[in-house]
Amino acid sequence: MKDIEIKIHLQLKQDNELDDAERDLIEKAKQATFRSYAPYSNFSVGAALMLENGKTLTGSNQENCAYPSGLCAERTTMFYANSRFPDQKILCLAVAARDTTGEFTKMPISPCGACRQVFIEVFHRQKAPFKVLLYGTDGTYIVESPLDLMPISFDSSYL
Protein backbone atom coordinates (compact mmCIF):
# COMPACT_ATOMS: atom_id res chain seq x y z
CA MET A 1 0.00 0.00 0.00
CA LYS A 2 1.15 3.50 -0.79
CA ASP A 3 -0.14 6.60 0.95
CA ILE A 4 -0.64 9.59 -1.30
CA GLU A 5 -1.08 13.02 0.20
CA ILE A 6 -2.74 15.71 -1.86
CA LYS A 7 -2.41 19.32 -0.84
CA ILE A 8 -4.31 22.26 -2.18
CA HIS A 9 -3.51 25.93 -1.93
CA LEU A 10 -5.99 28.58 -0.91
CA GLN A 11 -5.86 31.87 0.89
CA LEU A 12 -8.24 33.33 3.43
CA LYS A 13 -8.49 37.08 3.00
CA GLN A 14 -10.36 39.66 5.01
CA ASP A 15 -12.31 42.35 3.17
CA ASN A 16 -9.51 44.91 3.58
CA GLU A 17 -7.03 42.49 1.97
CA LEU A 18 -9.06 42.07 -1.23
CA ASP A 19 -8.24 44.20 -4.24
CA ASP A 20 -10.90 46.45 -5.77
CA ALA A 21 -11.72 44.01 -8.59
CA GLU A 22 -12.19 41.11 -6.14
CA ARG A 23 -14.32 43.26 -3.83
CA ASP A 24 -16.48 44.42 -6.76
CA LEU A 25 -17.04 40.88 -8.05
CA ILE A 26 -17.98 39.65 -4.57
CA GLU A 27 -20.44 42.52 -4.19
CA LYS A 28 -22.07 41.54 -7.49
CA ALA A 29 -22.31 37.92 -6.32
CA LYS A 30 -23.91 39.09 -3.07
CA GLN A 31 -26.45 41.17 -4.99
CA ALA A 32 -27.23 38.18 -7.22
CA THR A 33 -28.40 36.24 -4.14
CA PHE A 34 -31.43 38.52 -4.07
CA ARG A 35 -32.45 37.23 -7.52
CA SER A 36 -32.29 33.62 -6.39
CA TYR A 37 -35.37 31.42 -6.66
CA ALA A 38 -35.03 29.22 -3.57
CA PRO A 39 -38.52 28.61 -2.12
CA TYR A 40 -37.64 25.07 -0.97
CA SER A 41 -34.21 25.40 0.65
CA ASN A 42 -34.40 29.13 1.47
CA PHE A 43 -30.65 29.11 0.76
CA SER A 44 -29.92 31.82 -1.79
CA VAL A 45 -26.67 31.66 -3.75
CA GLY A 46 -25.30 34.22 -6.16
CA ALA A 47 -22.33 34.12 -8.49
CA ALA A 48 -20.53 36.71 -10.58
CA LEU A 49 -17.75 36.21 -13.08
CA MET A 50 -15.34 38.40 -14.98
CA LEU A 51 -14.52 37.59 -18.60
CA GLU A 52 -11.28 38.49 -20.33
CA ASN A 53 -13.16 41.13 -22.37
CA GLY A 54 -13.96 42.93 -19.10
CA LYS A 55 -17.65 42.00 -19.01
CA THR A 56 -19.14 40.86 -15.70
CA LEU A 57 -22.05 38.39 -15.65
CA THR A 58 -24.11 37.20 -12.72
CA GLY A 59 -26.45 34.35 -11.91
CA SER A 60 -28.26 32.78 -8.99
CA ASN A 61 -29.53 29.39 -7.92
CA GLN A 62 -32.87 28.38 -9.41
CA GLU A 63 -34.81 25.67 -7.59
CA ASN A 64 -37.66 23.47 -8.74
CA CYS A 65 -40.07 21.30 -6.76
CA ALA A 66 -38.62 18.35 -8.72
CA TYR A 67 -35.29 18.90 -6.94
CA PRO A 68 -32.88 17.59 -9.58
CA SER A 69 -34.35 20.06 -12.07
CA GLY A 70 -32.89 23.10 -10.30
CA LEU A 71 -29.49 24.60 -11.03
CA CYS A 72 -26.75 26.10 -8.86
CA ALA A 73 -25.70 29.73 -9.17
CA GLU A 74 -22.20 28.80 -10.31
CA ARG A 75 -23.41 26.70 -13.24
CA THR A 76 -26.17 29.15 -14.15
CA THR A 77 -23.55 31.89 -14.43
CA MET A 78 -20.90 29.85 -16.24
CA PHE A 79 -23.33 28.38 -18.76
CA TYR A 80 -24.74 31.84 -19.45
CA ALA A 81 -21.22 33.18 -19.99
CA ASN A 82 -20.37 30.42 -22.46
CA SER A 83 -23.64 30.82 -24.36
CA ARG A 84 -23.21 34.60 -24.69
CA PHE A 85 -19.42 34.82 -25.06
CA PRO A 86 -18.11 31.39 -26.13
CA ASP A 87 -14.70 32.74 -27.12
CA GLN A 88 -14.06 34.64 -23.89
CA LYS A 89 -12.09 33.11 -21.03
CA ILE A 90 -13.36 33.34 -17.50
CA LEU A 91 -10.78 35.13 -15.36
CA CYS A 92 -12.49 35.04 -11.98
CA LEU A 93 -15.68 33.68 -10.41
CA ALA A 94 -17.11 34.89 -7.07
CA VAL A 95 -19.74 33.03 -5.04
CA ALA A 96 -21.79 34.27 -2.07
CA ALA A 97 -24.74 32.82 -0.16
CA ARG A 98 -27.44 33.83 2.28
CA ASP A 99 -28.59 31.21 4.77
CA THR A 100 -32.14 30.30 5.78
CA THR A 101 -32.32 33.36 8.05
CA GLY A 102 -31.50 35.63 5.10
CA GLU A 103 -28.04 36.54 6.43
CA PHE A 104 -24.85 36.08 4.44
CA THR A 105 -23.00 32.97 5.55
CA LYS A 106 -20.15 33.46 8.02
CA MET A 107 -17.95 30.82 6.44
CA PRO A 108 -17.35 30.75 2.69
CA ILE A 109 -19.60 28.23 0.99
CA SER A 110 -18.11 25.48 -1.07
CA PRO A 111 -19.33 24.65 -4.59
CA CYS A 112 -21.04 21.28 -4.95
CA GLY A 113 -19.38 18.43 -6.82
CA ALA A 114 -21.36 19.05 -10.02
CA CYS A 115 -20.23 22.68 -10.08
CA ARG A 116 -16.64 21.65 -9.44
CA GLN A 117 -16.85 19.25 -12.38
CA VAL A 118 -18.08 22.10 -14.60
CA PHE A 119 -15.18 24.23 -13.33
CA ILE A 120 -12.79 21.50 -14.50
CA GLU A 121 -14.45 21.35 -17.93
CA VAL A 122 -14.18 25.14 -18.31
CA PHE A 123 -10.55 25.00 -17.20
CA HIS A 124 -9.78 22.44 -19.93
CA ARG A 125 -11.89 24.15 -22.58
CA GLN A 126 -10.25 27.54 -22.12
CA LYS A 127 -6.81 26.01 -21.47
CA ALA A 128 -6.30 28.38 -18.55
CA PRO A 129 -7.10 28.47 -14.84
CA PHE A 130 -9.44 31.00 -13.33
CA LYS A 131 -9.57 32.36 -9.82
CA VAL A 132 -12.47 31.39 -7.54
CA LEU A 133 -13.56 33.68 -4.70
CA LEU A 134 -15.74 32.04 -2.04
CA TYR A 135 -17.26 34.74 0.16
CA GLY A 136 -18.18 34.57 3.83
CA THR A 137 -18.63 37.42 6.29
CA ASP A 138 -15.68 36.04 8.32
CA GLY A 139 -13.42 36.02 5.25
CA THR A 140 -13.11 35.01 1.62
CA TYR A 141 -11.32 31.93 0.33
CA ILE A 142 -9.19 32.68 -2.72
CA VAL A 143 -8.53 29.68 -4.94
CA GLU A 144 -6.19 30.29 -7.88
CA SER A 145 -7.31 27.30 -9.97
CA PRO A 146 -10.32 24.99 -10.14
CA LEU A 147 -7.86 22.10 -9.82
CA ASP A 148 -7.38 23.13 -6.20
CA LEU A 149 -11.09 22.58 -5.59
CA MET A 150 -11.06 19.17 -7.26
CA PRO A 151 -7.50 17.82 -7.42
CA ILE A 152 -8.62 14.34 -8.50
CA SER A 153 -11.00 15.05 -11.31
CA PHE A 154 -12.58 13.39 -14.31
CA ASP A 155 -11.97 14.94 -17.71
CA SER A 156 -12.17 14.02 -21.38
CA SER A 157 -8.76 12.33 -21.28
CA TYR A 158 -10.50 9.35 -19.60
CA LEU A 159 -12.94 8.89 -22.48
CATH code where residue 140 lies? 3.40.140.10
Distance CA 68, CA 81 (A): 22
Strand partners, 51: 90
**131-136 and 11-13 as β-strands: parallel, antiparallel, unpaired?**
unpaired
Q: List the chain pLDDT tens, one digit each, 159 residues.
A: 999 999 999 999 999 999 999 999 999 999 999 999 999 999 999 999 999 999 999 999 999 999 889 999 999 999 999 999 999 999 999 999 999 999 999 999 999 999 999 999 999 999 999 999 999 999 999 999 999 999 888 888 888
Q: Give the domain range for residue 29.
A: 11-158
Domain assignment present for 1: no
Domain assignment present for 53: yes
DSSP reduced 3-state for 65 = coil
Distance CA 103, CA 69 (A): 26
> Residues 32, 93: contact at Cβ < 8 Å?
no
End-to-end CA distance of the chain: give it in Å, rounded: 27
pTM given for the model:
0.95
Distance CA 137, CA 108 (A): 8
Total structural domains in the chain?
1
Domain assignment present for 76: yes
Catalytic residue numbers? 74
